[in-house]
Structure 1
Amino acid sequence: MVPYTITTVEWTTPILLSGYVATNSIKGSILQIFNLTLGILCYIPFVKLAESVSYIRMINSFRRVCTVFKENEEKGIVSTLISRNDDTGNISRFLTADLEYALKNNKVMLFYQPQVDYKGDIFGVEALLRWKHDIYGYIYPPLVIALASEGHLMDKLSYWILNRVCSDLNKMNKLGFRNIIVSINMSVAQLENDYFVNNLQKSIKKHKIAQDKLEIEITEQIALRSSKDIRDRIMAMKKLGVRLAMDDFGIGHSSLMYLKEYEFDTIKLDGSLVREILYNNNCRDIIQSIVSLGKSLNYSVIAEYVEEEEQRDILYELGCHRYQGYLYSKPLNYDELIEYLLDKCKSKFCG
């Protein structure tokens, strides 16, 4: 039988004792435990449903942030995200706070994609920024840069990248890989930072690396939009002895003009030229022209997005002998890179 309540119970009475106190019977405690268990079992599905709905809303809001950013990126518009008074702004502010925490706790990563010649010998790697968020997974790198810029974290992020690259390069040197060149792709926001060149110099000095084993990549869009301050910083980098590369190089008038203005050491072919090389003769002619110009102006040419042997073989026939892409390797974290280098090590890279 269900026990009757025979006395009042104070609200401070422990829940497992309250049934016994109220009924003066062990049956009261058993009933209380049963009611508690039943209540929890009924409540849990609603909690899980609420958590699921909240998670879906967060993911959808995050996707809207990415969509807004990429749409503006395609149009050449600088995105303003943090100052918005909507879900996009809320998520952007949360992401920026999480990015600051990640920088402080070393949760941002660098991956490296090998660069090789026709024989498969490794001459360099490109450093690629990666941030894996606990909820949203890997965040689109240009979005990370944009949030850091708008959230006044660019100095911290740029210094972290430069310091980590120099640290990893120093470790590679100690392992015998002294001829590897590490290239770093820099955005307008990073180059606009007043402390960029100073951070670069500090990182080089701190880790005691050769300046000519670092290469800063800029895009044609950066050169096109660059202010006097950015041009001065590029020139200051060159004076330090750091190498300079132009990424996504085409055959347009602006590309050719910047070859004259800056002393580039490396030109990286526009990805669309490499992707279409198998079936577009115009792309082949353009690449051949760029390679020929490179020989005259004394810069090397690297083809990115090389994914098939047929692409590589056509590039080789056109005079391009340096490649980067999934045909050789995906981007690797530092430990994976060292394993890759050791596996592919040639005598000219060691000792």
Structure 2
Amino acid sequence: MYKIFYKTELCIGKGALKQLSTYKNEHVLVVADPFLKTSGQLDTILANLDASNDVVVFTDIVPDPPIETVVAGIQSAGGRPISIVLSIGGGSAIDAAKAMYYFAKKQGIFSQAILIAIPTTSGTGSEVTDFSIITDAEKGTKYPLVSREILPDVAVLDADLVMSLPANITADTGMDVLTHAFEAYVSTNATDFSDALAEKAIKLVFEYLPKAYKNGQDVEAREKMHVASTLAGMAFNTASLGLNHGIAHAAGAKFHIPHGRLNSILMPHIIQYNANVINRGKQPIHKETAARYQDIAKLLGYSASNPALGVRQLVEAVKKLQKQLELPTSLREYGIASDDLAQYKEEIAEAALKDKCTATNPRIPTSLEVLKILENAF
């Protein structure tokens, strides 16, 4: 037996921001990316709120939000009886708002509040997940906060908010979507429900991410990628993730590579490791996982006549997509020095093994195997 829980009310499509006009006489804590404030986009979004609401805005958000940001955000409410925590932005803003919401409720603050998420990137799926990633800057470690309590009550998906997203961020966040879908599909917790969500997300990414990257004003591509992000988020919120994210969390805390870009660099190596189709030695192919990757390759139109070929064709498809998006394909190409990798690789490997995402990876990795993946990705 397994259980599936979908809590978030989704408001999707053009004009979805009008949902904000339904809230009246509320005390609202807005947690938003600072760029939205400087660009004026935040004012445009908040103009949908009724004038009867008491609104306080917190925009001191940085990538990989540290614990200190969470504390500062709670304090910014100034003792108000917050009834809505409204998060607007990319994964960092939504993750920070989730953590504020969680810890404030634990302290008896914001006790009656609901959580609303408005993503302005098409990548993290954070608007429909019970995950939040917070950084301990002093230790250089990322901590996943996982609790059903931080699932947003409402998510507003309005593609108008991502039309001006720069091409490089479109690529990075889009590859994060793909990683979410791939990992959910081969997760040890995968179900028919998560499979359906992941399969649709994968098809949308391969068809529409290159279009959104090439032409940011392609409305259809933007809308499809926004939906793909949420579908993949729903998939991994049910099935969880795997080693790709486990390593990305650990290495990202050390090297500060954009999360989606790091996931992309690792992706071909993780696929090959999980399926065990190269340098196998005496170990046989990991048939079940390879067959899952074979299914994805077939979904994308490849012949994939056997599992090993399916895995190779899927890796080729990923590399072709990376080329279309002009993404780096190695840590070295991104700019990581060999000395830096040597300094941190042991620590990264140990942190990756402890990461909660790694627990549902289809192969149970050893420290030496993670080190080998890092070396291959370099």
In the superposition, the TM-score normalised over structure 2's length comes to 0.24
**TM-score of the superposed pair, with normalisation by structure 1:** 0.26
